[in-house]
Structure formats: C-alpha cells, structure tokens
Amino acid sequence: MMTTLDNRPNTALLVIDVQQGVVEGAHERNSVVANIAGLVDRAREAQVPVIWVQDSGGNREQGSDAWKIVSELTPADAEPRVDKKYGDSFEETTLETVLSGLGVGRLLVAGAQTDACIRSTLHGALVRGYDTVLVSDAHTTEDLTSWGAPSPDLVIAHTNLYWSDQEAPGRTAGTVEAKDVVFGAATR
C-alpha cells in the first residue's frame, strides 16, 4: 500500500448506490449484485469495513423505495452509511470523516452507475490521496444509448480499461475481479 494519507493502513469496501431506483434496469444487474454480495460477505469475514453510500438525489428521496438498498444486500447495523447528493461520494458527505476514523487509506469500489457516481468517486478518492481499486465485475450502469452514450457493456469495459492503467504520485489504482479480491490485514 502506498497511500499518501498518514496512519491509514486499512482497506474498506465502498458500496456505492446499489439502490432499487438506481440499479433497477442496470446492465447485468443480478450478476453484479451477486458479486457485490460476495464481496460484502468476504469483507465482513475478514473484518474489513463495508461502507454503504446512498444517493438521495432525483427521485430517490430518503426513505423512499427508490432510495433503499436492493433486497439482496443488507447493511449491518454497525456498518457506516453515507448519504450523498453529488456524483463524487466525498462531496459534502461524511465519507472522509468515516474513512479517517477507520484508518482507511485504500478503497475497493463497487456499485453504480459506472459512468457517473463510480467514475466520480474513483477520481475523487485518488486525488484525495487514497489507493483506489475498482472491482471490475462489481459495477454497472443503465442503458443510455438513446442519449448518444455507448452501450452499457462498452461503458463498463472502457472504465475498467482506463482505471486499470491509472497512476498518481504516491498512490496506486487499478482493477481486480471480485473472485481475486483478497481481504486481510493491510501492510504498509
């Protein structure tokens, strides 16, 4: 681990916007949610913090069905929840405070939407000093081809491609498949 953040040797799993109103029509929704569920289980077994981010923008008013985490995933009572209104999960949220309190300097990122909140949070984390790894088969997006976007499979593939080669001084980035994620005590 190389994070530029002092005294932050720990890793956390950041689950972004896996909400009913966000992933309802998402590309390969069920397999992505299953991969995230497996990551959550393994993180808990390894006592790695799982942090849940929920977007309350648009039609996702807090407490509404659209705002709720999908039924296949159940945040534990002790796991931090972060409410956000912007794409970058750090903007005007408690995320930095939560991560600092847990001594986290490395993030494994999963969730939705690939071309919005995932990308924004990946870049936001890296510029703030975090080692930032995208779980390549644990993020998804909806089909926005009618607005001129590439198909969801290409959006996901492109994001995986460019994040796998991302660099910043004193920090690491990259991608990993869910099956290859190794949770355990972080070392510096």
Which residue range(s) make up the domain with 123? 10-180
CATH at 126? 3.40.50.850
Half-sphere exposure of 81 (CA within 13 A, CB side): 16
Q: How confident is the model at residue 24 (pLDDT cuts 50, 70, 90)?
A: very high
Q: What is the pLDDT of residue 58?
A: 84
Count of domains for the chain? 1
Q: How confident is the model at residue 1 (pLDDT cuts 50, 70, 90)?
A: low
Whether residue 187 has pLDDT greater than 50: no
Provide the Cα torsion 154, 150, 28, 23; round to 10°: 130
Residue 2 inside a domain? The answer is no
**Left, alpha or beta for 170 (phi > 0: left; psi -120 to 50: alpha)?**
left
pLDDT tens figures, 60-110: 999 999 999 999 999 999 999 999 999 999 999 999 999 999 999 999 999
Q: Does residue 113 have a cis bond before it (omega within 30 degrees)?
A: yes
pLDDT tens figures, 27-67: 999 999 999 999 999 999 999 999 999 999 888 999 999 99
